[in-house]
A and B are shown apart, each in its own frame.
Chain A
Amino acid sequence: MTERSTRPADFDAYWAAVDDELARYPAAPTLEALALPSDEYSTVYAAKITSIGPYRIFGYLSIPKAEGKHPGLLIAPGYGSVNHLPHLDDRQRYVTLVLMHRGQRLADQPFAAAYPGLLTLGIDDPAAYVYRGIVADCLRGAEFLLSRPEVDTSRVGISGGDLALITAARRPGFSAVQASGLLFHRLMAVRERTDAYPVEEVNDYLRAHPDKVGAVARTLSYFEPANHVSTLNATTLFNGGGAGVKSLMDAIPGTAEQYELTHEGGTDHDWADAWMAKQLGSIPKPHLWEVA
């Protein structure tokens, strides 16, 4: 049995409804230049845009000061309350958007996410599950970045976990995807082999609600990347993931690669950085240094 077999019959209708809902709300972006992180190379803006709900979400948008259009990079939100400002190395090369989805700091009014807790919020009902809105936030972020006049739309990448894969699959326009740390891929199987958070949140929930196993599995199937990637045409790199992502790679119609982690953070960072730079026609910015 493959992950594809869990694809709900109304999967396409579910996500079409999200797109319809997004279309009803203009992004209404505002940009406010931030003096502290802006420097001689780039200007960093506090960006606010509207997603479904309606809900106002936040992003750090960094635009290089060099003239002309630049490659774009969307850094999808991770699992946690904080996403860092874009790194200076990225800010010099790319129009970079670091997105805070609903509930994360800077997008936590009126809804503040709980950690642990976010992963299972509304998880027994696909229509109420918090990640329906979170994916919408990422889709809106992608639309926003791709609409920026400073962006060379032929060279736009996205990095992150499941949210990067789902966003790129649902919003054509990305030429490169770099995925790592997948959370939703085969989550119902993975949960049986670990007690590490955040996966343990699902175990906690199902210990308290053992009758909800079927409902939870059904909800998660809408967020299973394997059910999304058949429309992913961007060149995709999986950083790590071992054999667990092989079926995902096979399901991607575009080019899919895998990098085997060395677990040397510097080595792995530099490889990933160079890969994205190559995809976007930019230059690598290695962090490793040699001892003189």
Chain B
Amino acid sequence: MTQTTTRTRGRADQFGTSVVRPPDFDEFWAAIMAEANAIPLNPSMEHVPMRSTDEVDVYEIGYDSLDGLRIAGWYCRPKERYLAPPYPALLIVPGYVSEPTLPKSWAKMGYAAVGVAPRGKLRSNRHFNPGYPGLLVNNIVDRHTYSYRGFYVDACRAVDFVLTRPEVDPKRVGVHGSSQGGALTITTSALRRDAITCGAAGAPYLCGFMDATSLTNSWPYQEMNDYLRLYPDREAQMRETVAYFDGVNFAPLITAPMMVYIGLNDDVCPPETGYALKNAMTCPLEFYAQPRSAHDAGRHWVMPKVEAFLAKHLKPAATSRHAEPTVG
């Protein structure tokens, strides 16, 4: 079912998504989160003097998650002599192939920031390592063992981690990322709506999975096209599985204010799927669609808006600096 992109197509905001919300979607995730919540977090923090500065302390962190996996991350917090606690927390969630960022620049802005490394990322891949390509289609015929079941939970557990930190104000917890980080911003804001204050999602991936396969031949969605070329008889199973993991179906659960930004010529995460997400959201939303931008989603212009949005809701102490842009 591989299709090449065409030079003309309809308006992205007029696209009719094929995403259907399974009737037991909420029960499916309630059971998973109950299973996760029963697992002790066992958080660990190891100070990394070499990467710490006069303003920021850097820690390598770990915590337990589903399936007995130990998940890694980076935790960067302002030093107390630089900025006094409490701090708002900010999860920086990673793109598909990029390694988790070490969010020092966000910590300099006053956030207690976690660079999340869900399963399969380096340092979290000892017992789960489907690789790239691989992660997107790993067990994609079975929602109970699909790779993103644990992956989504790993990101949620980073919320639990920051809530264990005495220097964090538990009423100010944000999440931000682009591409897969945009997807995790959506899923985490939905699954941990009890704790998330706001989220900013760029070029959100994992929204409208099946629609995307017909709209792009770029990676990572191309993994699904490749898979279906080899196993065409598994399309129904694939469609059934991904419905439980589609950001469009998580969207109505989000209650916190959100910001979503997309590129109107994104060949990786088609803008049609970004609009499907937007249309499914019922929370307060700032939405930006940048003409002629692709998977960058207008990052060059939108990052100041992202920083302002997060600062407005999370109120960090220092907002004069600029953070590193988040990338897919």
Chain A, interface residues (CB within 8 Å), range: 35 or more
Q: Which of B34-42, B48-56, B145-153, B182-190 contacts A (4 or more CB under 8 A)?
A: B48-56
Q: Are B219 and A36 interface neighbours, CB within 8 A? A: no
- Choose from B6, B122, B217 the contact partner of A81 (Cβ within 8 Å): B122
Contacts of A82 in B (CB 8 A): 97-98, 132
Q: Give chain B interface residues in 89-142, CB to chain A under 8 Å.
A: 97-99, 101-102, 104-105, 108, 122, 131-133
How many residues from B make CB contacts under 8 Å with A?
A: 52
Contacts of B214 in A (CB 8 A): none
Known A-B contacts A85-B219, A289-B7; A263 and B132 likewise in contact (beta carbons under 8 Å): no
Q: Are B104 and A88 interface neighbours, CB within 8 A? A: no
Contacts of A196 in B (CB 8 A): 105, 324
Q: Give chain A interface residues in 186-214, CB to chain B under 8 Å.
A: 195-197, 200, 204-205, 207-208
Q: Are B230 and A197 interface neighbours, CB within 8 A? A: no
A281 within 8 A of B: no
Contacts of B297 in A (CB 8 A): 265
Q: Are A289 and B5 interface neighbours, CB within 8 A? A: yes
Q: Are A290 and B99 interface neighbours, CB within 8 A? A: no
Grouping DSSP codes into helix (H, G, I), strand (E, B) and loop, the B interface class, with mixed when no group exceeds half, is: loop
- Choose from B6, B219, B293 the contact partner of A266 (Cβ within 8 Å): B293
A125 within 8 A of B: no
Contacts of B223 in A (CB 8 A): 36
A24 within 8 A of B: no
By beta carbon, the residue of chain A nearest B131 is: A105
A-B contact count (CB 8 A): 120
Q: Which of B8-16, B156-164, B191-199, B273-281 contacts A (4 or more CB under 8 A)?
A: B8-16
B295 within 8 A of A: yes
Q: Mark A11-38, 1 if CB is under 8 A from B, else 0.
A: 0000000000000000000000001110
Contacts of B218 in A (CB 8 A): 87-88
Report the minimal beta-carbon distance from B284 to chain A, rounded to whole angstroms.
Answer: 28
How far apart sit A265 and B294, CA to CA, in the bound complex (Å)?
5
A128 within 8 A of B: no
Q: Are A197 and B292 interface neighbours, CB within 8 A? A: no
A116 within 8 A of B: yes
Which of A82, A89, A196 is the most central at the interface, judged by chain B CB atoms within 10 Å of its CB?
A82
Q: Mark B274-303, 1 if CB is under 8 A from A, else 0.
A: 000000000000000011111111111100
Which of A80, A81, A82, A265 is the most central at the interface, judged by chain B CB atoms within 10 Å of its CB?
A265
How far apart sit A240 and B259, CA to CA, in the bound complex (Å)?
29
Q: Mark A34-52, 1 if CB is under 8 A from B, else 0.
A: 0111010000000000000
Contacts of B300 in A (CB 8 A): 263
Identify the B interface with A (CB < 8 A).
Answer: 2, 4-12, 49-51, 53, 97-99, 101-102, 104-105, 108, 122, 131-133, 217-219, 222-223, 226-227, 229-230, 263, 265-267, 290-301, 324
9 additional A-B pairs beyond A207-B53, A264-B298, A265-B263, beta carbons within 8 Å, are A39-B2, A81-B122, A88-B222, A115-B99, A116-B102, A196-B324, A263-B296, A263-B301, A289-B7
Closest 8 CB pairs of A and B: A265-B294, A266-B265, A263-B300, A265-B296, A82-B97, A264-B292, A266-B294, A115-B99
